[in-house]
């Protein structure tokens, strides 16, 4: 016979399991870096929701408003676990005011901001202008090319622009010896 565990107990355990040990949200966090942190938070919350919703559904308690409130408080606590003390200190009043996970997540997102498509493209172009192959690590050209392609995708959605950016960045990293080899073997014109 299976042991009965009340969904509230599962919510408490799930919250503890999904809390962040590293305080990723801080006052120095830039919009670009926040997009990565935001993805991590959303992923953890999605997993938390999957687990806790299944526990609630298994006991036919989907209409229990207290349990739903308890579940949302767990989401909020997971999010709070990602915030460092400087951010908490600076925005204490606002954080206290935002009572639900969704409201607090929106506040944090609005406070840190998001990177516009134009900003992403400009940053990618800047990175491509200075990207170099990790020669000291003996980075393979194939791996280097994949890295450049990934950056070029952020710079433009147009394949012809991406190809131009990749070609330019790749060629800048070829030595005269590499160029001669490629020319002699018919890879360059």
For the chain, the helix, strand and coil percentages under 3-state DSSP, each to the nearest 5: 70, 0, 30
Mind giving me the DSSP string for 36-61?
HHHHHHHHHHHHHHHHHHHHHHHTT-
Q: Rounded to an integer, what distance in angstroms lies between the CA atom of residue 168 and that of residue 171?
A: 5
For the segment 110-166, what is each residue's pLDDT rounded down to a tens digit? 999 877 778 777 888 888 888 888 888 988 888 988 999 988 888 888 888 888 888
Residue with tokens 């995708």: 153
**pTM greater than the 0.75 cutoff:** no
């Amino acid at each position: 016979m299976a042991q009965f565990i009340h969904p509230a107990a599962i919510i408490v355990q799930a919250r503890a399991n999904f809390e962040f040990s590293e305080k990723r949200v801080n006052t120095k966090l830039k919009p670009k870096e926040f997009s990565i942190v935001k993805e991590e938070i959303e992923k953890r919350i999605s997993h938390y929701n999957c687990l806790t919703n299944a526990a609630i559904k298994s006991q036919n308690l989907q209409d229990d408003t207290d349990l739903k409130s308890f579940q949302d408080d767990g989401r909020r606590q997971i999010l709070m676990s990602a915030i460092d003390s400087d951010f908490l200190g600076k925005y204490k009043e606002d954080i206290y005011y935002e009572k639900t996970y969704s409201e607090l997540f929106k506040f944090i997102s609005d406070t840190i901001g998001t990177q516009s498509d134009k900003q992403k493209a400009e940053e990618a172009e800047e990175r491509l202008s200075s990207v170099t192959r990790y020669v000291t690590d003996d980075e393979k050209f194939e791996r280097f090319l994949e890295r450049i392609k990934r950056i070029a995708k952020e710079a433009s959605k147009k394949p012809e622009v991406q190809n131009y950016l990749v070609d330019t960045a790749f060629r800048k990293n070829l030595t005269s010896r590499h160029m001669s080899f490629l020319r002699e073997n018919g890879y360059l014109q």
